Structure 1
């Protein structure tokens, strides 16, 4: 066990020494890896923020239930009782007199309302169901339309469907972008390790002649690739969270202008750790491909 730990600690130390031996090359590689991880990570953060912003709006999605003109106040009371029993959520009754008063208070409508011979507005209910999913809202609206004394049910859920479709498309685009940049990250690590192997080809061949195993030769490069990928992931976390910090205040101010409360959030601790792990995994994969290809090439025929 001690021998195993010693071998791995030596390999990790050697990987750090290789990273520090050429700081400019290391910095350039980290920038490439960091940017490659930043773009899909930023896209995922953007979609998550949009989803949360839309959830706040969708949670207050309303259904307007308009009663028929001949419906009496008794009918409205009975319908309200039934709505409170069968609809899970907030139910608000708007009397026709109150609706007319609100219309009269609207700019430019006072004279028009005064000229009306009678109140043309019906009694209505404003519903805010707990389940604000598009399918659930449409099903509820269809059910309410069949109730007696209900003249019209108004629901605008088309935007929710469009937004859900947009989010699905966005997630697919982020996945494709992540796959493309993951391949680029593996290629960068592959090429970096390849150059190091070629520079140390004589040492590797001597080590093979005196009995060094493939695992002994591979190990330092594996750690180098993993460390390089992990550091690139750390840079990506800094870039994403730094961008979110710069945009948080303007976005919050914009939301305030629209009478809303919203604040951008960046990568959390778990998401940051995941991004570091993905970077390390892709770096390790690039190192494995590079070292494996070289060892196969130098094997005796």
Structure 2
């Protein structure tokens, strides 16, 4: 076991020395890998923030329940009981007198409301469902519409569905973009390792002659590819965080102009680690493909 750890420790040390021996090439490779991972990483963060923005947008999570004009307190109490039993989330009752007062305070509506012979507005409930998925909202709307003394149920489901479809399209485009850049990252590592194998042809031949196994020869190259990819992932995380910090103030100012409060969510430790892990995995894959093909000439 000690010998196994010693071999891997030596391989890691060799990979680090190779990275350090050519700082300019290493820096350029890390920049290429970092940029390749930055674009899909930044796209993921943007979609995540858009999802939160859509959930917090005014009116998206509300269902307006309008009752018949001839309802009484008993009917209102029955609807309250149904809402309580359904455990739909938060809700509040808006009596027709309160709705009329709000309309009267609106600009240009005072005289019109004063000329009305009676209150034309119905009692209403404003429901804020706990489950804001478009399918769940539509199911709840249809259920409420079937309750007695309910005249109309209003839900801006078209807006919610369009927004959800936009997010799904964004996820698909992001997945395709991530796949393309992942292939590019593997190609960069593949070419880098191939050049290293060619430069160390004599050393590999001598190692083979004195009995070195394929695993012993391949191991330093594998660690080199994984380290290069992992460092590139950390660089990509730093670029994403820097970009979000630059956008934080303008986005906050824009939200304030619309009377809202919104701040960009930055990636946590888990997301940063995942980005570095993805980079390391892709780097290891590129190194494995490169070493497997490059060492065939020594067989």
Task: Report the TM-score when normalising by structure 2.
Answer: 0.92
Deviations 1:2-31 (A, max 9, x none): 332332222222211111111111111110
2:90 and 2:127 in contact (8 A); partners too: yes
| Distance verdict in 2 for CA 1:37–1:112, change over 3 Å | same
> In 2, Cα distance between the equivalents of 1:148 and 1:4?
75
Unmatched segments (≥5 aa) in structure 2 = none
Partner in structure 1 of residue 88 of structure 2: 88
Mean Cα deviation higher: 204-213 or 233-242: 204-213
- The runs of 4+ residues in structure 1 deviating greater than 6 Å are none
Partner in structure 2 of residue 34 of structure 1: 34
| Distance verdict in 2 for CA 1:108–1:214, change over 3 Å | same
2:64 and 2:153 in contact (8 A); partners too: yes
2:66 and 2:151 in contact (8 A); partners too: yes
> In 2, Cα distance between the equivalents of 1:82 and 1:219?
66
**1:50-129 map, 5 Å:** 50-57=50-57, 61-129=61-129
Deviation at 1:164, TM superposition (A): 1.7
**1:238-249 map, 5 Å:** 238-249=238-249
Deviations 1:26-55 (A, max 9, x none): 111110000111111111111111112222
> In 2, Cα distance between the equivalents of 1:295 and 1:289?
10
> In 2, Cα distance between the equivalents of 1:59 and 1:132?
11
Mean Cα deviation higher: 224-233 or 113-122: 113-122
> In 2, Cα distance between the equivalents of 1:48 and 1:67?
37
Partner in structure 1 of residue 187 of structure 2: 187
Task: Report the TM-score when normalising by structure 1.
Answer: 0.91
2:89 and 2:127 in contact (8 A); partners too: yes
RMSD (Å), alpha carbons: 2.0
2:54 and 2:60 in contact (8 A); partners too: no
> In 2, Cα distance between the equivalents of 1:10 and 1:130?
55
| Distance verdict in 2 for CA 1:76–1:27, change over 3 Å | same
| Distance verdict in 2 for CA 1:86–1:292, change over 3 Å | closer
> In 2, Cα distance between the equivalents of 1:216 and 1:143?
67
- Number of equivalences: 299
Deviations 1:92-118 (A, max 9, x none): 222222211111111121222223233
**1:1-301 map, 5 Å:** 1-57=1-57, 61-299=61-299
Alignment partner of 1:152: what SS?
strand
